[in-house]
Amino acid sequence: MNFRNIMTRTVFISFLLCVVVASIEAQETVTPQEAITLTLENNYGIKIANNAVELAANNKDILNSGYLPVLSGNGGATYNQDNLKAEFASGETTELNGAESSRYNASISLDYLLFDGLGRYYNYKQLKEEYNLSELEARQTIELTIVQLLSVYYDVSRQSENVNSLQETLAISKERLTRAEYQFEYGQNTKLDVLNAEVDINNDSINIINARQNLINAKRDLNVVTSNAIPEQFEIDTTVTFLEGLDKEQLMAKTLANNVSLLQAEQNIIISEFSLKASRSGYLPAIGLFGTYGWNENNNNAASFVAVSTNTGVSAGVSLSWNLFDGGSTITRVKNSKILLENQRLIKEDIKLDVQRDFNNAWTDYKNKLNIFYIQEDNIRTARNNFQRTEEQFRLGQVTSIIFRQAQLNLLSAELTRNQAKYEAKLAEVVVLQLSGELLNVNIF
């Protein structure tokens, strides 16, 4: 490859980089808070969870409680056309052909259950607790979705910083190629240095292409979580701050009190208790009230003694029913309800053990990753200092291009590792807050 082709390719790459930079500057920057807001408003999973809460709210309404009376209306009409032949005791006979008659009736009935062994009362209580459970399930969906969002968001941030680091590496490699060409032109080095610089530029260019594709894929993943609510062209805020003063003992206490899985388990225990009490209502009688207001009109044919009769009236009463023995169904329901209640208590204890283990693991993971990040920060300073010294010696001709390239790669590796450590530490912090029930209560940014 001659010098002209090299310079042409270099100018072309520089032009592409300028276009990319100009495009980036024109793109909207999406912060983590904005991404969370868009997710809460548009994520389909969260919308489904909110609809489930609304369904539970409808179920716990007084209209679904069984406490309201049942009011029904009835009406009817009957028309008859008959051929009649009547013979009286005196021996006289009468024949009617096409004799018409009709009947009309209408009524309003009211039924109200006064007492059903408290089954209705405990069922209504159970519906209210199921509504509370649906709210906890929605909260769990929101928390898990936010964790998923931040995981993808920080992956985009990491990929963005990786692209920037690789672009800086490519710029350094281009500068090195230009220097190698000048030195070769003036006889200060061999063609081998130029070829090595070209190979390094090609490798750096390939790395940028792959990194940009990874960034594009990560941005698409982010838009899936937000249900395509983010503009097509956007950038990410790569600033990361860590919460100070997190205390393990305090967070463990909050975990046992506010962890959403534990709260759901406790809610299931309450629901099972009401279910058991409702099952016992089968041992008691049911008392009800009923009342009816009715109207009847009969239009009789000529053979009847009464031509027209109308009747209106009110009837009311009290009903009592007591299932003295239902074949053992109530006894079986009560026994099964007791077993289900005990299972819910066991499930809570099992979940408690899992949550405590998960929190301890998450806390250790968080502290370790935070320490790794701080170590990587120190490593960056060391690698950058080493590169700057090597670069200065390279310009003075005191070190070879191979040593210079190794220092360059060491700096790039340190930057990429630091980027990964930074976002892994932040995500570990997010998981700790989610397990302790604090994710929606604190500003993590």
The tens digit of pLDDT for each residue in 9-41 reads 433 434 443 444 444 445 689 999 999 999 999
Record the tokens describing residue 430, joined without a space: 């997010």
Its pTM stands at: 0.85
What pLDDT sits at residue 8?
39
pLDDT at 302: 67
Residue 131: phi and psi, rounded to 5, are -65, -45
Give the span between the Cα atoms of 422 and 433, in whole angstroms.
17
User: And the tokens for 204?
Assistant: 């750096």
Contacts of 182 (CB under 8 A, 6+ apart): none
Task: Give the phi and the psi of residue 116 in degrees, each rounded to 5.
Answer: -130, 35
| pLDDT < 70 positions in the chain | 1-27, 88, 302-305
Contact 333, 282 (CB under 8 A): yes
Q: How far apart are the first and last CA of the chain?
A: 51
pLDDT at 5: 43
Summarised one tens digit per residue, pLDDT across range 45-86 is: 999 999 999 999 999 999 999 999 999 999 999 988 877 777
Q: Where are the domains of the chain?
A: 32-68+124-166+221-284+329-435, 72-115+286-321
**What's the DSSP call for residue 176?**
H
Query: Could you tell me if 260 and 140 are in contact, meaning their C-beta atoms sit under 8 angstroms apart?
Result: yes
Sign of CA dihedral 234, 239, 242, 244: negative
Cα 255 to its chain centre, rounded Å, is: 20
196 alpha carbon, distance to own chain's centre: 52
CB 226 within 8 A of CB 145: no
32-68+124-166+221-284+329-435 maps to which CATH number?
A: 1.20.1600.10
Q: Which helix (H) or strand (E) holds 82?
A: strand 70-87
**Rounded to whole angstroms, how far apart are CA atoms 67 and 47?**
31
